[in-house]
């Protein structure tokens, strides 16, 4: 996410490891559709391992799924880094070099990953990256705040598009995988799904998420002012309430993942 004059760096939907329930385990199962001829980006069901939902990433490691754990962490770190880079680059484009001066105009994960936020993802199931600082008074256009806020989720959409189409292009019919190998097949699918989940989650217009900067541009002026006041007072509490409901088993954020997976087939153009 981006950060204006205030904000908190919440960015990763809970529980991230439930993505593993829709990814492919490293084992003997084949990564394919029902007939092993179509990639998992296709618009129909495909075979998936029966992992328990609601796990933190550490549970995958404890279950002995070391390769899946490492691939998920790698995909997540890259996804968050590009998300934050999108905010920084668009802010620079519109005249604000705050992020650049603070070393954030880069895709280097060391500049963007919050160690505590990443640890929370691994051990609890949700977390955050460092927010990108943006000074709105330096932005040269009235639309700049919209573009800067949308650039992070937009970068996630681009990554999902690239990953899905590489997987589609390299898929070997009948083999149940990419010509680049089993690990690449797992990684590309996870990259696509994780990025779509991050995009959808960060577009939620609550609390510090990117969506709260975007929504007012699509509301009448008076309603937009009321929304900003509501979000400033109650947005964080509502978002935390949704997080707590998700943690006790209410399928709040499974909807986020479901929307992301529903979008996936429409990204494939090759």
- Domain with 194, as residue range(s), is 2-267
Res. 55 pLDDT band, cuts 50 70 90: low
Report how many domains make up the chain: 1
pLDDT in tens, 5-32: 433 343 566 544 444 444 443 333 333 3
Catalytic residue among 3, 84, 175, 222: 84
> Helix/strand/coil (H, E, C) string of the chain?
CEECCCCCCEEECCCHHHHHHHCCCCCCCCCCCCCCCCCCCCCCCCCCCCCCCCCCHHHHHHCCCHHHHHHHHHHHHHHHHHHHHHHHHHHHHCCCCHHHHCCCCCCCHHHHCCHHHHHHHHHCCCEECCCEECCHHHCCCCCHHHHHHHHHHHHHHHHHHHHHHHHHHHEECCCCEECCCHHHHHHHHHHHHHHHHHHHHHCCCCCCCCHHHHHHHHCCHHHHHHHHHHHHHHHHHHHHHHHHHHHCCCCCCHHHHHHHHHHHHHHCCC
pTM to 2 decimal places: 0.84
Summarised one tens digit per residue, pLDDT across range 120-156 is: 888 887 788 999 999 999 999 999 999 999 999 999 9
Active site residue 175: no
pLDDT in tens, 227-248: 999 999 999 999 999 888 887 8
pLDDT digits (tens, 9 = 90+) for 99-111: 999 999 999 999 9
């Amino acid at each position: 996410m981006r950060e204006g004059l205030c904000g908190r760096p919440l960015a990763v939907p809970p529980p991230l490891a439930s993505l593993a329930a829709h990814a492919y385990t490293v084992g003997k199962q084949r990564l394919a559709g029902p007939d092993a001829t179509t990639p998992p980006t296709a618009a129909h069901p495909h075979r998936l391992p029966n992992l328990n939902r609601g796990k933190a990433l550490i549970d995958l490691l404890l279950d002995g799924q070391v390769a899946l754990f490492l691939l998920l962490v790698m995909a997540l770190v890259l996804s968050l880094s590009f998300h934050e880079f999108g905010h920084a680059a668009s802010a620079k484009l519109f005249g604000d070099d705050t992020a650049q001066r603070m070393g954030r105009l880069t895709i280097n994960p060391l500049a963007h990953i919050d160690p505590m936020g990443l640890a929370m993802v691994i051990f609890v199931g949700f977390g955050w990256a460092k927010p990108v600082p943006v000074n709105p008074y330096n932005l040269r256009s009235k639309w700049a705040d919209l573009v800067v806020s949308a650039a992070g989720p937009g970068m996630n959409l681009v990554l999902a598009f690239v990953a899905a189409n590489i997987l589609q292009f390299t898929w070997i019919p009948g083999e149940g995988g990419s010509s680049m190998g089993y690990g690449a097949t797992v990684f590309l699918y996870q990259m696509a799904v994780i990025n779509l989940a991050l995009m959808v989650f960060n577009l939620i217009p609550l609390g510090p998420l990117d969506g709260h900067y975007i929504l007012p541009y699509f509301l009448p002026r008076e309603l937009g002012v009321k929304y900003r006041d509501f979000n400033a007072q109650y947005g964080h509490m509502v978002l935390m309430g949704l997080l707590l409901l998700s943690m006790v088993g209410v399928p709040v954020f499974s909807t986020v993942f479901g929307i992301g997976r529903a979008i996936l087939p429409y990204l494939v153009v090759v």
